[in-house]
Every structure is written in C-alpha cells, then in structure tokens.
Amino acid sequence: MSDRQASVTRKTKETQIELTWQLDGEGKADLHTDVPFMTHMIDLFTKHGLFDVTLDARGDVDIDDHHTTEDIGIVLGSALQEALGDKKGIRRYGSAFVPMDDALAHVVIDLSNRPHMELRGDIPHRKLGTFDTELVEEFLWKFALEARMNLHVHVHYGTNAHHIIEAVFKALGRALDEAVSIDPRVKGVPSTKGSLS
C-alpha cells in the first residue's frame, strides 16, 4: 500500500471540510458536499485520476456556493502538496485531452512548485441549475495555488456547459494521474535545479 496520502481539515466561519486523498488508488470516492454539481465533478476527477478520495464539505450555501467550492479547491491542493512529499521519482508533467459529446477539453500540468493557472475557452452559460459556472475557474485557481502547480486548461469547443465542465474535470484527473505517477527511471526529482519544493 502506497503511503502517498494526506488528510486535511479546514474549518472557518464559512465552511467545514474534511478530506482524505490516496494518490495511488482505484478511483473510489466517498463524497458528501452541499454543492451537488461539485460532488459530481469531484467524483469524475477521482474516477478518471484513479485516486481514492473521502470528502465531507459543508458550507454557507444559503448565501451561495462560492465559499464551499473555493475551499474544496484549497483543501484538495493542500492535500496534494502534502501527499507528494519531496516529489522524488514523479513524472512531474501530465497532459490529457478528453471529449464529452460536443465538448473537447485539454489539461496540462506541471508540478513545478510555481503556482499558475490559465483557463482558455468559454463556458456558454452562467448557471447550471443553481451552480454558477464562473466558480469552476475559482476552484481551479485555488487548487493550483495550494498544490503549487502550473495548471493550463483549454476548452477547445463545446456548446453544452455541463459537457464542457465535465470534460475539464475528467481531463484534470487524467493529467494529474500522469504527473504524480512514479517513473522508475527518474532519480531524485525531475528538475535540473535538484528541487521541486
């Protein structure tokens, strides 16, 4: 059993979140959040990344979904950074194209310790049910920031907002699975500087 796992708890006046993340998993998810759309997206991310994730997230959704969605990104990023440890032996880079019916998304990751996020392309609708689609960018930025990764997301095309976002989260899982995977040829960390921390 791999020890590349982390448990993170975040409690504020706005949210209470508990997360356990096993990087070398089987795609098992036990998710309970107050934002059903994000529960669905994290489930897709977990399944396609072959991660095992337990998540309980409660927040002030009577105001809106912003704080809970943002803080899920923060906690996931913190857990990823902790689970990776010194990053020895990882591939570091990951890339995945994923289609979902009319939509095509591409996600590229560098676990560089240089946090940055770029989201290119349009999500054509501002709402999916009660969920504000602008929160996808908020989630991605906070995830990248706390994980200290360089994350590029390119929505090539699509007309259905749900399909677009679903393609993004599936591609995110697959690209991250590649980036965190261990390559036996890598000695130490994959950097000429000798450090990714």
Q: What is the CATH number of domain 5-180?
A: 3.30.230.40
Residue with tokens 């994959």: 190
| Residue whose C-alpha is closest to residue 145's, from 85, 39, 70 | 70
| Residue whose C-alpha is closest to residue 152's, from 185, 196, 121 | 121
In this prediction, residue 194 carries a pLDDT of: 62
Given pLDDT bands bounded at 50, 70 and 90, which one contains residue 189? confident
Query: pLDDT tens digit string along 53-98?
Result: 999 999 998 888 999 999 999 999 999 999 999 999 999 999 999 9
Reading the block at residue 160, the tokens are 């259905």
Average pLDDT, the chain: 94
Reading the block at residue 58, the tokens are 């409660």
DSSP result, 116-180 = EEEEES--S-SEETTEETTHHHHHHHHHHHHHT-EEEEEEEE-S-HHHHHHHHHHHHHHHHHHHH
Strand 103-110 to 93-100 pairing: antiparallel
Query: pLDDT tens digit string along 172-188?
Result: 999 999 999 999 888 87
Query: pLDDT tens digit string along 137-185?
Result: 999 999 999 999 999 999 999 999 999 999 999 999 999 999 999 998 8
**Prediction pTM value:** 0.94
Average pLDDT rounded to a whole number, residues 1-14:
89
In angstroms, the CA 182 to CA 155 distance is 28
Chain-centre distance for alpha carbon 179:
12
CB atoms within 10 A of CB 115: 18
In angstroms, the CA 184 to CA 165 distance is 34
